[in-house]
């Protein structure tokens, strides 16, 4: 039995509790009333669709800016907020999630093509746990079912609210995060090593390609060799 299994047996003898998103938090939308011009020379950061789609943890330093006027009423994002892409051309890629795991030091906004979710009590889910949870296979199956469409699939906020998630005790969440963070780090290190090896092989390939296919130089070398023999 693993340490996580032992913790579950200790803290959840009757199993881990599941709750619908609507029972423990609120769903909200992104920026409103913005035109294309507002995203030129902006003065405030916002989280783009691509940022959510590509990252399990939001990159809050991404260089995406929008114009926000003084006194403008727009919802800002906080650590722990869970963001979802609101639509996609394929059902398999709809509702991709990203979590704000870092403290937000300046106003940060959400693009209008995504959906936000905020827990009523932030301590219910560790942000690090949430970033893995909502990308897990079991959760992806639920999230895909929240969407409908033909040529483009859109997430229904009503269906999203009914998605049920496991809520293990924080001690268990942190242990799971520790394990998954370790694997993520190992994967990144392996990718870096493989990339370095691939780069070395690319340089080696380029050298042999350029050498073997440089017939002008070969002919010149052959001529020099022939001259010496004469």
Summarize pLDDT for 89-99 with one digit per residue, the tens: 999 999 999 99
Domain identity same for 111 and 61:
yes
Alpha-carbon span 98 to 81, nearest angstrom: 9
CB 137 within 8 A of CB 74: no
Alpha-carbon span 53 to 32, nearest angstrom: 20
Alpha-carbon span 126 to 109, nearest angstrom: 21
Domain identity same for 176 and 195:
yes
Whether 208 shows a pLDDT value over 80: the answer reads no
Of the residues 132, 167, 202, the one at which a domain ends: 167
Whether 116 shows a pLDDT value over 60: the answer reads yes
Distinct helix (H) and strand (E) counts, the chain: 8, 12
Of the residues 118, 133, 167, the one at which a domain ends: 167
Can you tell me whether residue 97 is helix, strand or coil?
strand
Tens digit of each residue's pLDDT (9 = 90 or more) over 143-154: 999 999 999 999
Domain identity same for 12 and 34:
no
Q: How confident is the model at residue 223 (pLDDT cuts 50, 70, 90)?
A: low
Alpha-carbon span 199 to 216, nearest angstrom: 27
- How much is the mean pLDDT over the chain? 89
Q: Where are the alpha helices (DSSP H) in the chain?
A: 3-11, 21-24, 49-54, 127-133, 137-144, 157-161, 170-212, 215-229
Domain identity same for 183 and 147:
no
Looking at the structure of the chain, the number of domains it has is 2
At 126, which CATH number? 3.90.220.20
CB 173 within 8 A of CB 8: no
Alpha-carbon span 181 to 132, nearest angstrom: 10
Domain identity same for 187 and 138:
no
Domain identity same for 159 and 54:
yes
Tens digit of each residue's pLDDT (9 = 90 or more) over 124-140: 999 999 999 999 999 99
Domain identity same for 35 and 81:
yes
Of the residues 167, 185, 212, the one at which a domain ends: 167
Domain identity same for 189 and 202:
yes
Domain identity same for 5 and 84:
no
Domain identity same for 148 and 36:
yes
b/e per residue 98-111 (b: at least 16 CB within 10 A) = bbbbeebeeebbbb
Domain identity same for 4 and 94:
no
Mean pLDDT of 33-57: 96
Domain of 123 in residue numbering reads as 17-167
Domain identity same for 155 and 188:
no
**How much is the pLDDT for 7?**
73
Alpha-carbon span 188 to 184, nearest angstrom: 6
**How much is the pLDDT for 1?**
41
């Amino acid at each position: 039995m693993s340490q996580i299994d032992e913790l579950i047996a200790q803290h959840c003898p009757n199993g881990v509790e599941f709750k619908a998103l609507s029972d423990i938090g609120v769903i909200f939308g992104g920026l409103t009333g913005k035109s294309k011009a507002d995203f030129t020379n902006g003065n405030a950061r916002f989280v783009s669709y691509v940022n959510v789609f590509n990252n399990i943890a939001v990159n809050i330093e991404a260089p995406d800016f929008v114009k926000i006027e003084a006194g403008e009423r727009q919802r800002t994002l906080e650590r722990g907020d869970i963001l979802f892409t609101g639509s996609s051309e394929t059902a398999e890629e709809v509702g991709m999630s990203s979590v704000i795991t870092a403290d937000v030091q300046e106003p940060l906004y959400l693009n209008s093509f995504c959906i936000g979710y905020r827990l009523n009590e932030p301590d219910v889910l560790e942000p690090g746990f949430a970033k893995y949870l909502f990308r897990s296979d079991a959760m992806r199956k639920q999230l895909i079912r929240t969407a409908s469409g033909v040529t483009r699939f859109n997430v229904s906020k009503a269906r999203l609210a009914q998605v049920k998630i496991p809520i293990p005790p924080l001690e268990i969440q942190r242990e799971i995060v520790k394990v998954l963070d370790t694997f993520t780090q190992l994967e990144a290190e392996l990718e870096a090593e493989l990339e370095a090896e691939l780069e070395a092989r690319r340089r080696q390939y380029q050298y042999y390609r350029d050498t073997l296919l440089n017939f002008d130089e070969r002919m010149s070398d052959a001529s020099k060799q022939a001259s010496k023999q004469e």
